[in-house]
Structure 1
Amino acid sequence: MRRPSLQTLIALLLTVAWSLGLGIAHLRGDIPFIDGAEATLTNLRNTLGGHSQPPDLVTIVAIDDETSRVAGRYPLPRATLARIVDAIAAQGPKAIALDVLLVDPGDEAGDAALEQSLKRTKVVLAAASIFPESRQRVVDNSNEPLARVPSALQFLEPQQRFADAASYGIVNLQTDKAGTPRFVPMLFRSGERIEPSFSLRVVSAASGEQTTVLSDHIKIGDRSIHTDAGYLMPLSFYGPRGTIRTISASAALSGQLPEAAIRDHVVVIGATVTGGGDVFPTPFDPVLPGVEVIATSITHLIAGDGLVRDRNVRFIDLYFAVGLPIAVVSLLSWRRSTIGLITVLGVVLLWFAVNVSTFKHGIWLSAALPIAATVPPALLFGAIQLWLDRRRATRFAEQSQLLQRIQAPGLAEHLARDPGLLAEPVHQEAAVVFIDINGFTGLSESIGPTAVRELLNGFYNLVDEEVTASGGAITSFMGDGAMILFGLPHPKPADPANAAHCCIRLAHRMRDWLSALPQGITSRIGFKIGAHFGTIVASRLGGGDRQQITATGDTVNVASRLMEVAAGHHAEAAISADLLLAAGRDSTPFKEGHLNGPIETSLRGRAGSLTIWLWRGRP
């Protein structure tokens, strides 16, 4: 298996392990480090969904500042509370939910009056639970459903006389770290006792139907209530304070209750008085009265319009938590480019749109879980790929530098841009220059390999510098000589002039270089240059694993033979008339020495004669 595929496979396996671990933990209950993010994202989705009109099922009778003023004090006297209950009962509600804790005794007359009022109508009282921790959390691996029910140290129940006169339920809510109510537990336990929630008891009383607790949900009559682990019902707020119809309890004391708002409604009596303290932050209101939270949960239970977050939804969360990171990591490994990043962004936006849409339609899919499952693997994989890419880039840069040294200078850059350069032979005009050291073979036998290497390195560096400065390309070094082309990869009008210029520069540099060598070496070697202009065949030669860019044809052979002509006439360079004509005889480089010609000469191995010019530099 190729290395990139193996890296991707390992990344995907680690991604699956990470996301599957989070998903399984999510099935068992909320994950603490994800809770805060999920709360923030839930508020965001609530805000995106906007306000909604609640069903006309519940009315709040608020013990507000005006009621406190009329009654003369707060908390209200029990007799005053009895008058409010009687006034509401006279209008024919389905049930009255009294969200007031009656755990302490009051004056006897007032308690007796309230007891009688409770006996005359269908009222559900509020009780409370005391928990060992401020935040109710249930994470239990037991297969027993009731093991997940919030476990309280004790219940704060109404006074016995009131509990005998009416039913009661536990009013506690489950909040997130910010204090926002997220769930209403349907059941509570303390020791071996199991008590229903205040909201569940109210709805059961209003409908006259029995509540049945099953292994994974609750039924009121024939209607199923979708609950999360531990029989928790999610809350979805309709809007800010007052979204659920609210009437001041002072209207009940003055006999001005609107019958239409009471008859056949569930009426919730609770405190909204300033400084009462029973308020909660929500996405729509930072101080939503607790009685409106309770009214919201009762409305959800009756209308069935609350959020659905049960075990099936958590399994969907698991699928997204595994599928989204796999998709993102796969796309990142597929194409790490603008298109790949746009595709990743598209997948993430599609998931976000699905998540928001399902939330708007009442299904609470986790947003934080897929993000937590996706971000670490994606960032880690992206960072590793970036590191590997930088390593590859460094290696490619080193290889490019090596290629510049070994491959023909000037051609390596073209090869990097066009890997198919000269894959097929090309006929074109070019100037060819050869340079060679005279007497090198005999010298190398006497000075030893180390000195030979140093001598050749100096020669190669000299040729490389001058050819690069003149715009040519060294196609090969041949021992003590070099072949130079002007016209690759594409011919240019200035190629002949550049070749002529290169010949003169090489001659000057070679003369200076030789003069700087020890006398014993300088006296034994010299140099010769041959240059010609004409048609060449440029191509790659060699097999698939090793190829060399070079030129062949008569023009190359003539340039090589002209070195012999230069040596035979004791000249530094022999230049064909074709090159001289193309470059211009009067061009500046030739004015720096003696140019003799034209001369008709024959070349070894070639029929006919060739017109040439001989050039010597001035001493």
Structure 2
Amino acid sequence: MTVKSKEKTSRRRAFRLVGLGLIMLGCFIRVLDPYPVRMTRLIYFDILQRISPREYNPDLPVRVLDIDEQSLANWGQWPWPRTLLAQMVQNLGENGAAAIAFDMLFVEPDRYSPARLLNDPALDGVLTVERHAQKVDYDVLFGLEVAHWPVVMGTAARHASEGSRMTAKAGIIEIGESPTSGLISVPHWTPIAPPLGRSAAGIGGVNVSPLGGTGVIRSVPVLWGGPEGALPSLGIEALRIALDAPYILVEGSSDEAGIVLAVEIGDFRLPTTENGEVWVRYRRDQPDLYLSADAIMQNPNDPDLRSEIEGRIILVGTSAAGLFDMHQTSLGESVPGVSIHAQILEQILTGEMLSRSDVTAALELLSFVLLGLIVIAVMSSFGAVTSFVAGGVAAAVVLGTSWLAFQNQLVLFDVTFPLMGGMANFGLLAGYLFISTEREKREIRQVFSHYVAPEILDEMELSGHRLQLGGETQEITVMFSDIRGFTPLSESVSATDLVTLLNELFSQLGDQILHERGTIDKFIGDAVMAFWNAPLPVEDHPCRAAHAALRMRAALTEFNESEAMRDRQPIALATGCATGWACVGNIGSRSRFNYTVIGDVVNVAARIEQNCRHVDYDILVSASVNNAARFDLAMLEAGFVDLKGKSDPEPVFVLVGDKSLAETEGFQTLQTAHEHLIAAIRDRNAQDEVSELCAECTALSEIVEPGLKRFYRALPGRMADFRLDAQTTRVEFSHRGTLRKVAGIRATS
């Protein structure tokens, strides 16, 4: 295994470990089940019900006798005299009600009873009551009427330190390890005014939420844990009375105390939470559910009214605004508390009971783990985009499963934690992957910045430049620069010091190339190759390459004067530049390739650099560079040189300086003298005249560029380079060094 593959495997392993750590953290949070997680789950269950609420069935034997605003207007403010309530019970009973349950409290004795009115000091001497009625107690009358019919009285939980002893009239049979010990506990119950508690067929709790509970009513206890034992809720007790069932069966866990699994009443089985609550399967509030109390009091013999009462469970409650018995449902509606009791009875009768067990919660946790593993596996192998798609598909499957479970099985399967947890894992892992990728990108950029100018790197990133095997043909400028005097230097220092010196030198030379937007192709021993106009276009690339050569000359002068070169022979450079067409791109195998150039221009630049020794000058450029940049640089004609592998001699030029030097009077004087010298050589003037002109140019070069002195000293021995003998071609030069080819003319000696 290569080092690269080992590093890749190590990064992938680290990524997966981070992902597994996030999954474990998510599982821990789910087990703790903090308030935000719990509320998000409940809101999702509300959304499910809002999308698909339960349908209302008017044939169900449940109705609400509503003490509404009309009833209060016709029969007086609440509370009504108990005799009026006794008449209401009688009318309901005679119309065949299967059970009558009061979702209201009768805590205090009736203040309208004559015995109480006579004892009221405020009415002393004002109120006169016949002797036979002086001891009439309306509570007793109400109790006598209640005893004749299947009536359930309501009681409520209270925080007071004292309360009434409240024992369920239903028999409570427990199966399992004391399941009722885990019911929601009630400190005390409100008392029921005597003799109503004794007269009633049943007693039930009217609360739809635990003490202190506010907000949306999503689940309601069907059994309460009171000081004297379990007590059924109002609706459950009304159902028991209507079924004439003597007991309520509580099914619990066989191996753990305080766990309620289900409650059975007659033939009906209610799956519950472990503390005895049922999830309310809501429907939209329907006016058909309600019967006005005013109607039963005004027209007790109405056949239509009897058809709505006979054989049905009648829950007596109020929707009057002033009596404050309104609650919020999962559907976003405000309904009377008695309506919630009625809806629980409806779903029991239709069997539409929502369920949510520990197995469901475990499957939710498993879904979260599976989603996390999918994200980890796909992202570590294929990246963030693919993992997002794969995670999205998996999330859609989980969401679809939840919906089907709700629609078909009435199972509340939470997808919020798997989805939100999965999204959190994806975001954190994508962030981790992004940081890792950015770190690698910075490392690659740092390495690549040694070869390409930073601004070119920026342009490549902005343009989305991608490296791929293959290349394209385009015009480029190539530079070869070789160290002169390297052999003596290598003999005078150790190999380690030599590497240090080369690294320092190449760093300084490379900076000049990058400064001029060049691309460093490679370092070849003591030489460097660079090119311009790739990978991104550089408009004035011949001029840029020439300026880079001039900057390298200046950098070399500073390097030779540095502390590193003290007591050592100075180093010289030979640089050649050429412009032409070449194939630029990634060349090599599919698994390993280099970004480089291939073409004749590369060979020309390399051979021109080799001829620096022959011309005895440090920077030579081709005619193509001269043609492209002659107005921006100071260059002088250097004759024709033989290039290895080329059949015809190649014209070259010495690069003296930049445009600022070209515009100086000294260079222009030198240029004129140089042209006279070249003309004298071509015209085969006398040797003395040529020598005199050469001496003049040497003297002028002293103030322009001292390095030209060697060039001019070598010129008398190179006069043949300026006289081209060929069979078919004669090359003439204008005074600006412009190359013209005239075919078919034979040059003479």
The TM-score bracket by the shorter chain reads 0.7 to 0.9
Q: What is the deviation of 1:85?
A: 0.9
The SS at the match of 1:111 is helix
Q: What is the deviation of 1:112?
A: 3.2
AA partner of residue 200 (structure 1): I
Q: What is the deviation of 1:84?
A: 0.8
CA contact (8 A) 1:54 1:244 kept: no
CA 118–526 in structure 1, closer or farther in 2 if over 3 Å, else same: closer
Say whether residues 1:254 and 2:254 are aligned partners. no
Q: What is the deviation of 1:583?
A: 5.2
Structure 2 gap ranges (5+): 1-8, 114-135, 162-175, 253-260, 657-666, 668-703, 705-749
> Equivalent residue for 2:196?
162
The SS at the match of 1:309 is coil
Q: Which stretch of the first structure deviates more once superposed, 275-284 or 523-532?
A: 523-532
AA partner of residue 482 (structure 1): V
Q: What is the deviation of 1:287?
A: 4.4
AA partner of residue 48 (structure 1): I
> Equivalent residue for 1:613?
652
The SS at the match of 1:229 is coil
TM-score (norm 2): 0.65
Aligned equivalents of 2:289 and 2:571: distance in 1?
111
Alignment of 1:595-606 (within 5 A): 595-597=637-639, 599=640, 601=642
Q: Which stretch of the first structure deviates more once superposed, 83-92 or 551-560?
A: 551-560
Q: What is the deviation of 1:100?
A: 3.5
> Equivalent residue for 1:588?
630
> Equivalent residue for 1:149?
183
Say whether residues 1:3 and 2:29 are aligned partners. no
Aligned equivalents of 2:499 and 2:233: distance in 1?
99
Aligned equivalents of 1:178 and 1:71: distance in 2?
32
Alignment of 1:388-537 (within 5 A): 388-405=433-450, 417-421=465-469, 432-442=478-488, 457=504, 461-462=508-509, 464-466=511-513, 469=516, 472-478=518-524, 480-485=526-531, 498-499=541-542, 501=543, 504-505=546-547, 508-509=550-551, 512=554, 526-531=572-577
> Equivalent residue for 1:90?
94
The SS at the match of 1:184 is strand
Which one of the candidate residues 56, 62, 67 is aligned to 2:66? 62
AA partner of residue 610 (structure 1): P
The SS at the match of 2:269 is strand
Which digits, 9 at most, give the CA deviation of each residue in 1:459-518, with x for residues without a partner?
75346534763x65332334553233468669x9x99x945x466435644555566665
Which digits, 9 at most, give the CA deviation of each residue in 1:426-467, with x for residues without a partner?
999976532234345446777999899679746753465347
Say whether residues 1:379 and 2:421 are aligned partners. no
Q: What is the deviation of 1:204?
A: 1.9
AA partner of residue 615 (structure 1): V
Q: Which stretch of the first structure deviates more once superposed, 151-160 or 219-228?
A: 151-160
> Equivalent residue for 1:569?
615
Aligned equivalents of 2:179 and 2:237: distance in 1?
20
Which digits, 9 at most, give the CA deviation of each residue in 1:162-202, with x for residues without a partner?
34433122223342743433333222333453333322221
AA partner of residue 636 (structure 2): H
AA partner of residue 170 (structure 1): G
Aligned equivalents of 1:128 and 1:460: distance in 2?
88
Which digits, 9 at most, give the CA deviation of each residue in 1:552-582, with x for residues without a partner?
898756644444433233344455xxx52x5
Q: What is the deviation of 1:207?
A: 2.3
> Equivalent residue for 1:317?
361
CA 87–445 in structure 1, closer or farther in 2 if over 3 Å, else same: same
Q: What is the deviation of 1:92?
A: 1.6
Aligned equivalents of 1:259 and 1:434: distance in 2?
110
Q: Which stretch of the first structure deviates more once superposed, 433-442 or 88-97?
A: 433-442
Q: What is the deviation of 1:83?
A: 0.8
Structure 1 gap ranges (5+): 134-141
Q: What is the deviation of 1:109?
A: 3.8
CA 539–272 in structure 1, closer or farther in 2 if over 3 Å, else same: closer
TM-score (norm 1): 0.77
> Equivalent residue for 2:742?
none
Which digits, 9 at most, give the CA deviation of each residue in 1:249-284, with x for residues without a partner?
222222255122112222222233442233323345
Say whether residues 1:294 and 2:341 are aligned partners. yes
> Equivalent residue for 1:218?
263
Q: What is the deviation of 1:77?
A: 1.0
CA-based RMSD = 4.6
Q: What is the deviation of 1:395?
A: 3.7
CA 166–395 in structure 1, closer or farther in 2 if over 3 Å, else same: same
Aligned equivalents of 2:68 and 2:106: distance in 1?
18
Q: What is the deviation of 1:354?
A: 4.4
CA 589–36 in structure 1, closer or farther in 2 if over 3 Å, else same: same
Aligned equivalents of 2:503 and 2:600: distance in 1?
28
AA partner of residue 142 (structure 2): L
> Equivalent residue for 1:181?
217
> Equivalent residue for 2:142?
114
The SS at the match of 1:87 is helix
CA contact (8 A) 1:64 1:248 kept: yes
Aligned equivalents of 2:595 and 2:77: distance in 1?
103
> Equivalent residue for 1:75?
79
Q: What is the deviation of 1:549?
A: 5.6
Q: What is the deviation of 1:62?
A: 2.0
Task: Tell which structure's C-alpha radius of gyration is larger.
Answer: 2
The SS at the match of 2:49 is helix
Alignment of 1:257-276 (within 5 A): 257=302, 258-276=305-323
Which digits, 9 at most, give the CA deviation of each residue in 1:347-373, with x for residues without a partner?
445544544554456725153xx5346
> Equivalent residue for 2:375?
331
AA partner of residue 307 (structure 2): A
CA contact (8 A) 2:582 2:599 kept: yes
AA partner of residue 386 (structure 1): G
Which digits, 9 at most, give the CA deviation of each residue in 1:412-439, with x for residues without a partner?
89899545445x9x99997653223434
Aligned equivalents of 1:226 and 1:332: distance in 2?
38
Aligned equivalents of 1:156 and 1:509: distance in 2?
99
> Equivalent residue for 2:52?
49
Q: What is the deviation of 1:117?
A: 1.8
> Equivalent residue for 1:198?
234
Q: What is the deviation of 1:535?
A: 8.8
CA contact (8 A) 1:153 1:190 kept: yes
The SS at the match of 2:616 is coil
Say whether residues 1:123 and 2:151 are aligned partners. yes
Q: Which stretch of the first structure deviates more once superposed, 330-339 or 413-422?
A: 413-422
Q: Which stretch of the first structure deviates more once superposed, 114-123 or 458-467?
A: 458-467
> Equivalent residue for 2:696?
none
CA 587–32 in structure 1, closer or farther in 2 if over 3 Å, else same: closer
AA partner of residue 205 (structure 1): I
Aligned equivalents of 2:545 and 2:289: distance in 1?
100
Aligned equivalents of 2:647 and 2:364: distance in 1?
84
> Equivalent residue for 2:119?
none
Aligned equivalents of 1:296 and 1:435: distance in 2?
92
Q: What is the deviation of 1:79?
A: 0.9
Aligned residues: 586
Aligned equivalents of 1:123 and 1:586: distance in 2?
110
Alignment of 1:274-285 (within 5 A): 274-283=321-330
CA contact (8 A) 2:147 2:201 kept: no
Aligned equivalents of 1:609 and 1:568: distance in 2?
17
The SS at the match of 1:181 is coil
Q: What is the deviation of 1:595?
A: 0.5
CA 565–43 in structure 1, closer or farther in 2 if over 3 Å, else same: closer
> Equivalent residue for 1:139?
none
Which digits, 9 at most, give the CA deviation of each residue in 1:112-150, with x for residues without a partner?
3223322332222223344689xxxxxxxx953222123
Aligned equivalents of 2:282 and 2:512: distance in 1?
79
CA 299–459 in structure 1, closer or farther in 2 if over 3 Å, else same: closer
Say whether residues 1:238 and 2:283 are aligned partners. yes
CA 455–46 in structure 1, closer or farther in 2 if over 3 Å, else same: closer
Aligned equivalents of 1:549 and 1:179: distance in 2?
68
The SS at the match of 2:90 is helix
